[in-house]
């Protein structure tokens, strides 16, 4: 029998003060200027899409000079890569922050999904940017963006692998394959909400994503 414990509807909440999993990587924090540029770019990209967004528009929206954008991101191509790098970093920070003090690996994963969905809903342009850039054919995928995809997938894979410490899990799919499915589902749910203006709540989207996880879990190890 699969565990289905929804402890609380919120990703923050209170939990045992165990902190982050030992050895877990903590992403570095973005600078205030980079965060301002990122948020300005996301607003524009949510309205016009990544390809139609210009450096001039990002600078104007952020209230900085064009030179400041180039200093932080370089060319338009480098700006897209820089936005992806900072966006993935912010997603990872949100996931890590939501899991502080949580012992149960399923609940850690659920809270991470909710945190990622909330971030993507608040920065709708990033879901569009990520889907446009991360799912490019391998030949046209830049090394920087490929590295960011790998970084995020590795973290999700770690969280899925941790499930086997507490639960019996299915042999298939393997954790990496499930991570790819969960990654794609989460980003597509966020983009669908932005584009279709659906009334689907964050909690409803999280429950949909968690069906992948709950199909992978068989039962708690404590059950004989």
Rounded percentage of the chain residues whose pLDDT exceeds 90: 54
In a domain, 125, yes or no: yes
In a domain, 47, yes or no: no
Percent of the chain at pLDDT > 70 equals: 86
Q: Mean pLDDT, to the nearest integer, of 175-181? A: 97
Decide if pLDDT at 119 tops 90. yes
The answer to the question of residue 187 being in a domain is yes
> Looking at per-residue confidence, does 30 or 220 come out higher?
220
* Percent of the chain that is helix, strand, coil (3-state, to 5): 65, 5, 30
pLDDT at 30: 52
**Per-residue pLDDT band at 199 (split at 50, 70, 90):** confident
20 domain-assigned: no
The Cα–Cα gap between 7 and 107 comes to 8
- Give every CB contact of residue 131 below 8 A, 6+ residues apart in sequence: 187, 188, 191
Number of domains within the chain = 1
Instruction: Find which of 7-21, 123-137, 150-164 is predicted with most confidence, using mean pLDDT.
Output: 150-164
Is the Cβ–Cβ distance between 185 and 179 less than 8 Å? no
Give me the mean pLDDT over the 125-153 stretch: 86
Q: What is the mean pLDDT of residues 170-180?
A: 96
Mean pLDDT of 58-83: 89
Structural domain includes residue 93: yes
59 inside domain: no
Domain membership of residue 119 (yes or no) is yes
58 assigned to some structural domain? no
Whole-number pLDDT of residue 18 = 39
pLDDT at 19 over 60: no
Average confidence (pLDDT) over 189-204: 88
Residues 6+ apart with CB under 8 A from 155: 25, 92, 95
The answer to whether the CB of 83 falls within 8 A of the CB of 38 is yes
Alpha-carbon distance of 99 to 111, in angstroms, equals 6
Q: Domain of residue 191: give its range.
A: 84-220
Please provide the average confidence, as pLDDT, over all residues in the chain: 84
Q: What is the CATH number of the domain that holds 208?
A: 1.10.357.10
């Amino acid at each position: 029998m699969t565990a289905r414990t929804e402890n609380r509807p919120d990703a923050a909440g209170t939990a045992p003060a165990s902190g982050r999993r030992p050895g877990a990587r903590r992403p570095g924090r973005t600078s205030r200027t980079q965060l301002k540029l990122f948020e300005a770019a996301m607003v524009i990209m949510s309205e016009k899409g990544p390809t139609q967004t210009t450096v001039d528009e990002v600078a104007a929206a952020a209230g900085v000079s064009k030179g400041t954008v180039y200093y932080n991101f370089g060319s338009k191509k480098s700006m897209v890569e820089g936005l992806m790098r900072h966006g993935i970093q912010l997603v990872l920070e949100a996931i890590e922050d939501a899991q502080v003090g949580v012992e149960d690996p399923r609940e850690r994963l659920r809270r991470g999904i909710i945190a990622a969905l909330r971030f993507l809903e608040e920065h709708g342009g990033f879901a569009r940017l990520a889907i446009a850039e991360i799912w490019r054919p391998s030949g046209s995928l830049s090394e920087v963006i490929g590295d960011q995809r790998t970084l995020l997938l590795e973290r999700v894979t770690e969280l899925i692998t941790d499930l086997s410490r507490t639960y019996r899990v299915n042999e298939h799919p393997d954790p990496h394959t499930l991570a790819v499915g969960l990654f794609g589902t989460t980003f597509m749910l966020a983009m669908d909400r932005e584009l279709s203006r659906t009334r689907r709540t964050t909690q409803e989207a999280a429950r949909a994503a968690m069906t992948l996880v709950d199909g992978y879990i068989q039962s708690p190890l404590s059950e004989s």
